[in-house]
């Protein structure tokens, strides 16, 4: 994937929003989260919304965002959730026609969840690598070519 440079999940969201030509809004999940999901990606016709668990560490919040971005980058669909049921799944005040895609992160038993989790790890590692300074000289040149 030809991804832009980023330092953390929020800056990657901003870059992907610009690249996709549609806003990505980040929202903390409500404290009484009845879905048991720690992250959700909601796609509408005009924009994307990523909901994340706020009662966890910043490192974990970033990982949740990377996971939901993994779903987005892989163009995953609403596995196991009928489109007609999507509006009532979490957002009871939204009409059925508004939601195009809703994916929740609750377990890792499906192929899509495993793919999104793998991508989350890769995105997180790439951000961590970009933040680490390169060694001087020849070693720095090798490090820059081995980073992804």
pTM above 0.75, yes or no: no
Best CA proximity match to 104, nearest among 62, 61, 55, 52: 52
Angstrom CA distances, 132 to 7, 44, 75, stand at 10, 36, 30
Q: Is residue 147 part of a domain?
A: no
| pLDDT tens digit sequence for 75-85 | 888 654 444 44
Task: Output the pLDDT for position 69.
Answer: 94
Task: Output the pLDDT for position 22.
Answer: 94
In this prediction, residues 39-67 reach a mean pLDDT of 90
Q: Is residue 4 part of a domain?
A: no
| pLDDT tens digit sequence for 91-134 | 545 444 444 455 555 556 788 888 999 999 999 888 876 656 65
Q: Are 122 and 129 in contact (CB under 8 A)?
A: no
Q: Is residue 146 part of a domain?
A: no
How many structural domains does the chain have?
1
The domain in which residue 31 lies consists of 9-132
Q: Is residue 76 part of a domain?
A: yes
């Amino acid at each position: 994937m030809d991804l832009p440079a980023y330092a953390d999940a929020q800056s990657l969201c901003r870059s992907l929003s610009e690249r996709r030509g549609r806003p990505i809004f980040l929202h903390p999940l409500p404290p009484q989260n009845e879905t048991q999901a720690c992250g959700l990606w909601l796609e509408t016709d005009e924009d994307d919304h990523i909901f994340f668990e706020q009662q966890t560490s910043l490192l974990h919040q970033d990982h949740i965002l990377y996971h939901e971005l993994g779903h987005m980058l892989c163009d995953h669909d609403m596995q196991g959730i009928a489109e007609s049921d999507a509006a009532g799944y979490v957002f009871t005040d939204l009409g059925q026609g508004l939601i195009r895609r809703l994916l929740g992160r609750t377990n890792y038993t499906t192929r899509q969840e495993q793919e999104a989790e793998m991508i989350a790890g890769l995105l997180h590692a790439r951000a961590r690598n970009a933040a680490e300074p390169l060694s001087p000289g020849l070693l720095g040149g090798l490090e820059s070519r081995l980073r992804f």
